[in-house]
């Protein structure tokens, strides 16, 4: 009886419930717009498009969008204010080439080194799914506010949207499986965790694009792989399939990114309508006709200058964990790289070590050509975007970004070129330069407030005071909380 009376006393009447609902709704509509406003005061705005430092600027952000830029901006009462005095506001960094289905550790590419007897590939895929949140938090903590995955899986596409509105996560742009003209049997039977679609014919290429559309990819990726020595004839024999995939993608309103290592495959892909080359050709120095083709077609080229070095260091057994690794990378893939020599299959690891060391000179020559072409393209005005190919063996997520920046700087890019490559050109790679990539009125507020001048040196890019994701400011350390 007493319990029943207590319930009656505690139960609010319908009228009270309505009043509470009205109060809650009024509170939401009155207060939430204020909470969605941010004013950064008296800061130096880094104008990456015009290569200028704009001192003593206020930047007003409303509902995740840059509302105004100027001096002494007046905002509504209750607006969150960040004092930017002595600090530098830059667009958030962009990595235009990562793979979330790959961990960066030694078990992640069975088509290159098959270690499935030691660790089943299903466990590797499970690990990448389980740690996607942690990896995204690590990207955001480093000031990387946009991550592009040109070659994922349908299961990761399904997960992409669940992270898009999370306060701790960068914005993710992603394709589904790569379209390839050769087969990769190591990945057979994986269904929606499979990273490749085999395009045996032109009709296969079109069907594969249509098969991907229900998962709503942000763009389509083709791996224009040409095995063997007779690259010219093989590349031309595959070209009709590449053209069909590009045509079908464009019919669906999607951009196309293409993996092409050779000047010929890159040229053929661009002529066929590719919008984005995810690698710089390294089989020789690029010439003026190719450069003009890229400029005429407004093609963005991603850097990816260090991914091959990551493989060599791992297989050659001379990978050493860097300061970047300790600051940014998840430790598990790093440990697998460092312990590669201790794997049970010593015959395999020793064979890889010897072959890697014997071919080191060729690899370094390719890297040298790649850096020469990077400098040529950037100086010619071709938009080059910072990219790591992170997730590949020896290229850990997040830490590889700073290794890539150092390589690009050593290759001859100046600091403004590096900033453009890491911000506005990253937006251009996905066709979103009107939405983000610079500090411009009307663009998405994915920004980083640095405590040091980013034009002085690359080390200053790591002095992140605040990360602003879609208009919400967070301290870097807070971005790793509630994560593994």
pLDDT at 291 over 70: yes
Please tell me the predicted confidence (pLDDT) of residue 482: 67
pLDDT at 16 over 50: no
Between the alpha carbon of residue 87 and those of residues 57, 327, 461, the distances in Å are: 11, 22, 12
Average pLDDT, the chain: 93
Please tell me the predicted confidence (pLDDT) of residue 12: 43
Taking each helix axis from N to C end, the angle separating 399-410 and 415-422, rounded to the nearest 10 degrees, works out to: 140
Average pLDDT value for residue range 390-403: 98
Q: Which of 23, 4, 258, 46 is nearest to 143 (CA)?
A: 46
Please tell me the predicted confidence (pLDDT) of residue 388: 98
The answer for 84, left when phi > 0, alpha when psi is -120 to 50, beta otherwise, is alpha
pLDDT band at 130 (very low <50, low <70, confident <90, very high): very high
H-only helix segments in 11-91: 14-35
Q: Tell me the pLDDT tens digit for each residue of 322-350.
A: 999 999 999 999 999 999 999 999 999 99
| C-alpha to C-alpha distance for 228 and 327, rounded to whole angstroms | 40
Q: What number of other Cβ atoms are within 10 A of residue 265's Cβ? A: 28
Q: Could you name the CATH architecture of 93-429?
A: Alpha-Beta Barrel (3.20)
Q: If one looks up domain 38-91+447-480 in CATH, what number appears? A: 2.30.40.10
Please tell me the predicted confidence (pLDDT) of residue 22: 45
Across 12-21, 122-131, 144-153, least confident range: 12-21
Helix, strand, coil content of the chain in percent (nearest 5): 45, 20, 35
pLDDT at 66 over 80: yes
DSSP label of 344: S
Please tell me the predicted confidence (pLDDT) of residue 229: 85
| C-alpha to C-alpha distance for 269 and 267, rounded to whole angstroms | 5
**Percent of all residues in the chain with a pLDDT value above 70, rounded to a whole number:** 92
Domain residue spans of the chain: 38-91+447-480, 93-429
Average pLDDT value for residue range 80-103: 98
Q: What is the pTM of this model?
A: 0.92
Please give the structure tokens belonging to residue 270. 């661009």
Please tell me the predicted confidence (pLDDT) of residue 29: 38
Q: Which of the residue ranges 1-10, 298-307, 361-370 has the most confident prediction, judged by mean pLDDT?
A: 298-307
The answer for 53, left when phi > 0, alpha when psi is -120 to 50, beta otherwise, is beta
């Amino acid at each position: 009886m007493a319990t029943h009376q207590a319930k009656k006393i505690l139960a609010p009447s319908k009228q009270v419930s309505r009043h509470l609902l009205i109060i809650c709704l009024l509170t939401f509509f009155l207060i939430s717009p204020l909470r969605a406003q941010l004013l950064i005061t008296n800061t130096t705005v880094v104008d990456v498009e015009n290569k200028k430092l704009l001192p003593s600027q206020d930047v007003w952000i409303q509902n995740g969008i840059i509302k105004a830029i100027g001096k002494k901006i007046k905002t509504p009462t209750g607006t969150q204010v960040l004092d930017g005095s002595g600090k530098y506001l830059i667009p958030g960094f962009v990595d235009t080439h990562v793979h979330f289905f790959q961990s960066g550790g030694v078990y992640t590419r069975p088509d290159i080194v098959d270690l499935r007897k030691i660790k089943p590939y299903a466990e590797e895929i499970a690990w990448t799914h389980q740690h996607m949140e942690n990896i995204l938090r690590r990207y955001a903590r480093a000031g990387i506010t946009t991550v592009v995955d040109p070659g994922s899986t349908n299961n990761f596409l399904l997960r992409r949207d669940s992270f898009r509105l999370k306060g701790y996560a960068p914005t993710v742009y992603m394709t589904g499986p790569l379209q390839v003209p050769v087969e990769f049997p190591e990945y057979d039977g994986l269904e929606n965790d499979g990273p490749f679609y085999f395009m045996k014919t032109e009709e296969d290429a079109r069907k594969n694009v249509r098969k991907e559309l229900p998962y709503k990819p942000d763009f389509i990726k083709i791996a224009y792989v040409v095995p063997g020595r007779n690259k010219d004839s093989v590349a031309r024999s595959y070209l009709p399939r590449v053209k069909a995939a590009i045509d079908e993608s464009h019919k669906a309103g999607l951009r196309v990114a293409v993996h092409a290592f050779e000047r010929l495959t890159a040229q053929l892909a661009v002529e066929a309508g590719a919008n984005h080359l995810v690698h710089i050709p390294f089989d020789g120095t690029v010439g003026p006709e190719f450069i003009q083709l890229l400029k005429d077609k407004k093609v963005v080229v991603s850097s990816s200058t260090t991914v091959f070095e990551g493989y060599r260091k791992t297989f050659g057994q001379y990978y050493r964990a860097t300061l970047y690794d300790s600051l940014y990378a998840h430790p598990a893939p790093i440990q697998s790289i460092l312990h590669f020599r201790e794997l049970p299959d010593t015959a395999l690891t020793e064979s890889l070590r010897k072959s890697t060391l014997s071919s080191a000179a060729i690899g370094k020559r390719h890297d040298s050509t790649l850096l020469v072409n990077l400098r040529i393209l950037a100086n010619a005005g071709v938009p080059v975007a910072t990219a790591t190919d992170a997730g590949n063996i020896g290229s850990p997520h997040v830490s590889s970004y700073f290794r890539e920046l150092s390589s690009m700087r050593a290759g001859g890019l100046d600091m403004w070129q590096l900033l453009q490559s890491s911000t506005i050109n990253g937006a251009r790679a996905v066709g979103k330069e009107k939405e983000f990539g610079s500090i411009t009125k009307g663009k998405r507020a994915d920004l980083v407030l640095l405590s040091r001048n980013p034009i002085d040196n690359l080390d200053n890019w790591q002095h992140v005071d605040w990360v602003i994701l879609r208009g919400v400011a967070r301290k870097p350390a807070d971005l790793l909380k509630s994560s593994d």
